Homo-oligomer: A and B are copies of this chain.
Amino acid sequence: MKTIAFLGLGTMGSPMAVNLCKAGYTVHGWNRSDNRTGPLLAAGGRTAASIREAVRDAEVVITMLPDAPQVEEVAYGPEGILANALPGVLLIDMSTIAPQSSIELARNAAAHDIRVLDAPVAGGEAGAVEGLLSIMVGGDADAFEEARPVFEALGRTITHCGTHGLGQTVKAANQLVLAINMQACAEAVVFLEKSGVDLETALDILSGGLAGSNVLTRKKITFLNRDYTPSFKMGLHHKDMGIVTDTARAIGAAIPLGSVAAQLMASAVARGDGGLDHSALLRGVELLSGHGRPQE
């Protein structure tokens, strides 16, 4: 089996690296800080003291990092991937970054004879742990086919979206629709409560028709209980909305609702709600409506 360097052992990266071990890969993990290496070691993986050490023998390098600046630092520095990985290696960036950043990474890596796939994921921490991620892949079809077994150790829905950056594009569109729909449901919740209708009854009715959505179904309990324990943090979705709005500007796509939803997420973060679940958009609607209902 192949040797994989896995760079970025955070909330998502750590269980993903573990799943690769379980699938039989030799995994050399690296993280900026040491304290996230426990699960990988327990699963039989190794850890590397530096990026250089991690990528030295790897046939595949996976990055799972917070945003483009981290990816660029890990890729481009003198101690980074491009300068130290083997020629011919396959670099799979599973971070969510701007499509344009993915395109530039692929171009820069090509000069080092390194092939790149952008492969952002959806499904959250639960999906990472259970190997049920949805993986959206951009890059050459040959590289995609070569990486398929790796992806199959990590996720369930694996789709080749097209050329470099288009995995990121689909992820961005996903975050766009999700943010808007989340806010839509939050607006409906306050509208319904202020009218005096039983919220659960009403949400069940909405779920049954054309207005129904996975947000309405899966977040119903969240809305009913105002329990904002994060499954996906507002602060991360806020970061993603930055990618969405920047990309929309760059390609000339109008996102009138998307831009307002991005504003409302930015407002939530500015008010200190960045660590809550993104469904805490509801708290913003309550604030605007003078609708005090305490978080349970």
Contact = CB atoms under 8 A, between A and B. Distances in A.
A114 to B, nearest CB: 24
Nearest to A206: B174
Interface string A269-286: 111100000000000110
Interface string A227-270: 00000100000000010110111011111111111111011011
Given A184-B257, A269-B252, A270-B254, A172 B191 contact: yes
Given A161-B201, A176-B191, A180-B180, 20 more contacts: A169-B191, A170-B206, A174-B209, A175-B211, A177-B181, A177-B184, A180-B181, A183-B257, A187-B255, A187-B256, A191-B251, A191-B253, A194-B252, A195-B247, A210-B232, A211-B214, A212-B213, A252-B269, A256-B288, A270-B288
A64 interface: no
A9 B283 CA distance: 42
A253 B194 contact: yes
Among A122, A209, A247, the one with the most B-chain Cβ atoms within 10 Å of its Cβ is: A209
A40 interface: no
A94 to B, nearest CB: 15
Contacts of A184: 176-177, 180-181, 184, 257-258
Interface in A135-180: 136, 157, 159, 161-163, 165-166, 169-170, 172-178, 180
A201 B204 CA distance: 30
A88 interface: no
A192 interface: yes
A243 to B, nearest CB: 11
Nearest to A252: B270
- For chain A, the bracket of interface size reads 35 or more
A202 B272 CA distance: 27
A289 interface: yes
Given A173-B202, A197-B166, A270-B253, A212 B209 contact: no
B162 A197 contact: yes
Contacts of A181: 177, 180-181, 184, 211, 213
Contacts of A188: 173, 176-177
A208 B195 CA distance: 33
Nearest to A265: B249
